[in-house]
Structure 1
Amino acid sequence: NGPATSPGASHVEVHDSDKTQQTFVLSDNARDVSSRTARADAAFAAAKQGRKVIVHRHVLDGDRIVFNRQPTLHRPSMQSYEARVLSSLKTLRFHYVSGKSYNADFDGDEMNVHVPQSMECRAELATIMDSNLNYLVPTSGRPIRGLIQDHCAAGVFLTMRDRFFDKAEFMQLIFLGLQPYLGVRATLDLESLMPVPAILKPRPMWTGKQMVSVILRFVTGVDGSGAGNQGIFTKGSSMTYTSTWTTRDGSTVASHPMGDEPLLVLGSELLIGVLDKNQLGPSNLSIAHLINEVYGPHHVGRFFGALGRVLTYSLRYVGFSMGMEDMILLDAPGRRKAMRDIDLCVLGVTDEGTALSTVSKAASALNGKIFPTKLRMHFPHNDLVTMTQSGAKGSNTNAIQMALTLGQQTFSGQRIGAMTSGKTAPSFFKGESRARSKGFAMGRFVSGIRPAEYTIHAMAGRDGLIDTAVKTARSGYLQRCLVKGLESLTTQWDGTVRDASGAVIQFQLGGDGLDPCKASTLTEFGVVHQNRADLARRFKVGPHAPQAAAEDCFDSDDDGEGRQMTAQEWQRAALEREQARPLPGHIDARLRRQTYQLDLKPRTVQRWRAKGVLSEKMDGEQAKAAQQVEEITKARLARGGSEPGEPVGIVAAQAAGEPSTQMT
């Protein structure tokens, strides 16, 4: 096709054995097909003769690329993807879950694509820099990737108790979510994934929770036969509490029929709870985090991809658009009276610090009293409240500024000071001490603000902009100094941390030699016990351990020469060495204090109680659970060390420098 038509090539290099090189430039004339064909035939003939041929071609689907956004403040700012070439389009696209890794939004950010030129580089991109492998940030071991914004709001709508789908809608959404991954598990079809309807009459209906459960079972490999994986087990929380629901008169209730907490997942079945930012976003011990710990990072990538598609398409069924009605208060006269009370609450207070504290407390009390219970539209019909409560975007502060009041404006952390005339603005009296004259903006965005409030609000906004510009320069220089000072520190094969001269900086990285990404849930023993079956399968302990005994690995033949060990025997010997090694003291102490929630049938407990052996049996079950968790912990600990050659100095510098850019 030549350089002008994709996919094509710009030129071809043919290298001879005597290190000479011929370069053929391909014509960009669309009609000059014959010359390009002749060049291609000559290059193909040279390749058949054993000569090295390099084709400078266009990027194709499936090629490995490096994606980067500057400033590159930490390791996840550069990640690898498989390219997909979209014809006639001019923008670079990537999934929302990686936005936080790059600190990127979608308002015109510029990013860079680097294309590797060797097979070795491609291999490193696939095994080290792949985006799925960067689910955890190396500085702390906490998740950094997660679904954002519309996905969080859609997750709440999809998993509420009153959300139902007929078979056509249910199957369509499941297909849209799982279609790219059906080839991964070729033995499954959509019909086999269909659960029993939650409602049978008058027509079969499925819930949104069942839709999420289908995706979870597919991603975690649960096939229902009991022979495969057991699935994820977790008890978590969401941001959408029962108190988020309100009655018709605007009062909250302790127990609402739509209240759905805490979140409970058993065997990859979502039984209770709604999905919001706590479970969909980059949260510790979320569903995605547990999938990463139990099954690996590529399963998390499939979970985000499948669920993200389902949430995007499901939101089209209900729509999501904030309007003026979402910001209207029920008690407008009550708001005006409360504003007057706040305005006058600091009369006679001479100390500025006391005055600021008094106004802030009064405003906070009013905010808690009115928002969100006194809004005309209530959750979940109020999309503004849904947005803030689900973690999709914004906070209660943003909503309060729209519907209630802008609140106290500060300049350099203090209330607005007076000019030389003794006034804070021309519209106020000299020496006036009311709250509004010192920067308390009583207006709101939904109904507008007064000129003096606009001026003071602009002053506070400009102060924030200048502070951000200065802070960016200082934090950037701080990071540069840290990186230059620590860039030579790496881990060695003996587990020590050394600098470029070979001097020992630490005998063990961090005192324990563990990689934060591999040990992020090492001491979450309750989670380990709940998911012990699949963790044992992954780390090959317990019933999944290799069967060859270690003493058989070193038998000698009659001639005295040792026989060669098989791979399974090596694995078994390594496992026995792991299990014989004692746990570190602090981990062992926490493990001994841990108690576990046992999976026992009520009939079994009643039988033990009747025989008078309940206490002994429960102690035995606890000891058995502790033994299983200890075996898994030892296996994870043995695999949790930092890799030799890891640039731990640069990672440490990034751990201090990158968060400094986020401070306000």
Structure 2
Amino acid sequence: VVPQPAILKPKPLWTGKQLLSIAIPSGIHLQRTDGGNSLLSPKDNGMLIVDGKVMFGVVDKKTVGSGGGGLIHTVMREKGPKICAELFGNIQKVVNYWLLHNGFSIGIGDAIADASTMKEITHAISSAKEQVQEIIYKAQHNELELKPGMTLRESFEGEVSRTLNDARDSAGRSAEMNLKDLNNVKQMVSAGSKGSFINIAQMSACVGQQMVEGKRIAFGFADRSLPHFTKDDFSPESKGFVENSYLRGLTPQEFFFHAMAGREGLIDTAVKTAET
């Protein structure tokens, strides 16, 4: 039964929530609040289904995924397998029809932040690099506060890593806040289909510190990481910090450090497979 349209003027129109509600069987009630306990959801987060009608919320992985307490779980428990199978078919029909008419893809444009955001990102990274220089100065002049149970070098490395990771996260937050809600990457992340905040940060803002064996890139020969750096250079660039984003592209040194970290990941995966 087609419900009464939510919008009557200038012409009758149904909302997306109404379309999806047709697929949900009546007598199903579901409530989930994401970060907040308000029954009014100004940001349309969480989920409220009353008698099979979606009241608020985005239908994401938490709602129609395989997790407990979601829509699928509730319908299976309340209505049985036959109705649950029908629900799968109905939701699939709605989604496939929408994709047929609208399509969904992602392009380079989805990773581009505007000029003011790029300024914020550049500022966050350069201020972090200045902080690292201060930490290096303190360590060289024996003024660095030692962390409990750590040597001077361990305290130094810990402090530097924390500073650089904070820079990547704050740059990533700037990029994420700048992306519009209609941005395809953001939609994928918020729907829970694929991707995460860190992917947005690395594509648009800054790839961040590359780690090998849980540490920054070690000096491979003659007290330096690559021939392109001077001896005893503990700066972020020399020790594997990638300040460019994937969108801007990596310098040859950054690319090499990134390949080192990537290689370790591949080896770990292969070894773990052999173990299990």
1:367 offset after TM fit, Å?
2.5
CA distance in 1, matches of 2:72, 2:64: 7
**Matching of residue 364 in structure 1 with residue 169 in structure 2:** yes
Q: Give the structure 1 partner of residue 101 of structure 2.
A: 317
Q: For residues 324-346 of structure 1, what are the alpha-carbon distances to aligned partners after superposition, in whole Å with 9 as ceiling and x for unaligned?
A: 22222222233223222223322
CA distance in 1, matches of 2:175, 2:121: 11
**Matching of residue 213 in structure 1 with residue 40 in structure 2:** no
SS of corresponding position for 2:55: strand
Q: Partner letter of residue 319 of structure 1?
A: G
**Matching of residue 456 in structure 1 with residue 240 in structure 2:** no
The verdict on how the C-alpha distance between 1:261 and 1:389 changes in structure 2, with shifts beyond 3 A counting, is closer
Equivalent residues, number: 252
Q: Partner letter of residue 340 of structure 1?
A: S
Q: Partner letter of residue 448 of structure 1?
A: G
Q: Partner letter of residue 385 of structure 1?
A: K
Q: Partner letter of residue 403 of structure 1?
A: S
CA distance in 2, matches of 1:403, 1:312: 30
Contact 1:409/1:456, CA 8 A, preserved across alignment: yes
Contact 2:224/2:231, CA 8 A, preserved across alignment: yes
SS of corresponding position for 2:90: helix
1:401-550 to structure 2, matched below 5 A, reads: 401-474=202-275, 476=276
What is the Cα-based RMSD across aligned positions, in Å? 2.2
CA distance in 2, matches of 1:261, 1:449: 36
The verdict on how the C-alpha distance between 1:429 and 1:337 changes in structure 2, with shifts beyond 3 A counting, is farther
Contact 1:418/1:424, CA 8 A, preserved across alignment: yes
1:457 offset after TM fit, Å?
0.4
Q: Give the structure 2 partner of residue 291 of structure 1.
A: 75
1:238 offset after TM fit, Å?
6.1
Contact 1:406/1:442, CA 8 A, preserved across alignment: yes
Which of 133, 137, 158 aligns to 1:353? It is: 158
Which of 6, 11, 14 aligns to 1:203? It is: 11
Structure number, greater radius of gyration: 1
SS of corresponding position for 1:435: coil
Q: For residues 260-302 of structure 1, what are the alpha-carbon distances to aligned partners after superposition, in whole Å with 9 as ceiling and x for unaligned?
A: 2431111111112220111121222011110111122332222
CA distance in 2, matches of 1:294, 1:334: 51
1:366 offset after TM fit, Å?
3.1
1:464 offset after TM fit, Å?
0.6
CA distance in 1, matches of 2:74, 2:47: 14
Which of 224, 228, 232 aligns to 2:28? It is: 232
SS of corresponding position for 2:219: coil
Q: Partner letter of residue 46 of structure 2?
A: P
Contact 2:169/2:201, CA 8 A, preserved across alignment: no
Q: Give the structure 2 partner of residue 169 of structure 1.
A: none
Q: Give the structure 2 partner of residue 272 of structure 1.
A: 56
CA distance in 1, matches of 2:162, 2:120: 23
CA distance in 2, matches of 1:267, 1:325: 41
CA distance in 1, matches of 2:208, 2:53: 44
Q: For residues 74-93 of structure 1, what are the alpha-carbon distances to aligned partners after superposition, in whole Å with 9 as ceiling and x for unaligned?
A: xxxxxxxxxxxxxxxxxxxx
Q: Give the structure 2 partner of residue 595 of structure 1.
A: none
CA distance in 2, matches of 1:405, 1:357: 15
**Matching of residue 334 in structure 1 with residue 120 in structure 2:** yes
Contact 2:168/2:207, CA 8 A, preserved across alignment: no
Q: Partner letter of residue 352 of structure 1?
A: E
Q: Partner letter of residue 181 of structure 2?
A: F
CA distance in 2, matches of 1:312, 1:385: 20
The TM-score, its normalising length taken from structure 1, stands at: 0.36
Q: Give the structure 1 partner of residue 129 of structure 2.
A: 343
CA distance in 2, matches of 1:346, 1:401: 21
1:256 offset after TM fit, Å?
9.3
1:384 offset after TM fit, Å?
1.2
CA distance in 2, matches of 1:344, 1:281: 45
Contact 2:21/2:52, CA 8 A, preserved across alignment: yes
Contact 1:279/1:287, CA 8 A, preserved across alignment: yes
Q: Partner letter of residue 311 of structure 1?
A: V
CA distance in 1, matches of 2:223, 2:251: 20
1:357 offset after TM fit, Å?
2.3
Contact 1:423/1:429, CA 8 A, preserved across alignment: yes
SS of corresponding position for 1:264: strand
SS of corresponding position for 1:345: helix
Contact 2:124/2:167, CA 8 A, preserved across alignment: no
The verdict on how the C-alpha distance between 1:198 and 1:327 changes in structure 2, with shifts beyond 3 A counting, is same
The verdict on how the C-alpha distance between 1:400 and 1:261 changes in structure 2, with shifts beyond 3 A counting, is closer
CA distance in 1, matches of 2:77, 2:59: 20
SS of corresponding position for 1:272: strand
1:355 offset after TM fit, Å?
2.1
SS of corresponding position for 1:437: coil
More helix by share: 2
Contact 2:168/2:201, CA 8 A, preserved across alignment: no
SS of corresponding position for 2:222: coil
Contact 1:327/1:403, CA 8 A, preserved across alignment: yes
Q: For residues 471-525 of structure 1, what are the alpha-carbon distances to aligned partners after superposition, in whole Å with 9 as ceiling and x for unaligned?
A: 1121x2xxxxxxxxxxxxxxxxxxxxxxxxxxxxxxxxxxxxxxxxxxxxxxxxx
1:399 offset after TM fit, Å?
1.4
Contact 2:222/2:231, CA 8 A, preserved across alignment: yes
Which of 163, 166, 177 aligns to 1:373? It is: 177
CA distance in 2, matches of 1:464, 1:415: 15
The verdict on how the C-alpha distance between 1:352 and 1:262 changes in structure 2, with shifts beyond 3 A counting, is closer
Q: For residues 563-614 of structure 1, what are the alpha-carbon distances to aligned partners after superposition, in whole Å with 9 as ceiling and x for unaligned?
A: xxxxxxxxxxxxxxxxxxxxxxxxxxxxxxxxxxxxxxxxxxxxxxxxxxxx
CA distance in 2, matches of 1:464, 1:261: 35
- Give identity over the alignment, percent: 34
The verdict on how the C-alpha distance between 1:389 and 1:262 changes in structure 2, with shifts beyond 3 A counting, is closer
Q: For residues 352-375 of structure 1, what are the alpha-carbon distances to aligned partners after superposition, in whole Å with 9 as ceiling and x for unaligned?
A: 23322232233223323x131234
CA distance in 2, matches of 1:238, 1:354: 33
CA distance in 2, matches of 1:359, 1:335: 13
SS of corresponding position for 2:237: helix
Question: For structure 2, which runs of at least 5 residues remain unmatched after alignment?
Answer: 140-152
CA distance in 2, matches of 1:199, 1:303: 26
CA distance in 1, matches of 2:12, 2:226: 66
CA distance in 1, matches of 2:210, 2:56: 42
CA distance in 2, matches of 1:265, 1:327: 34
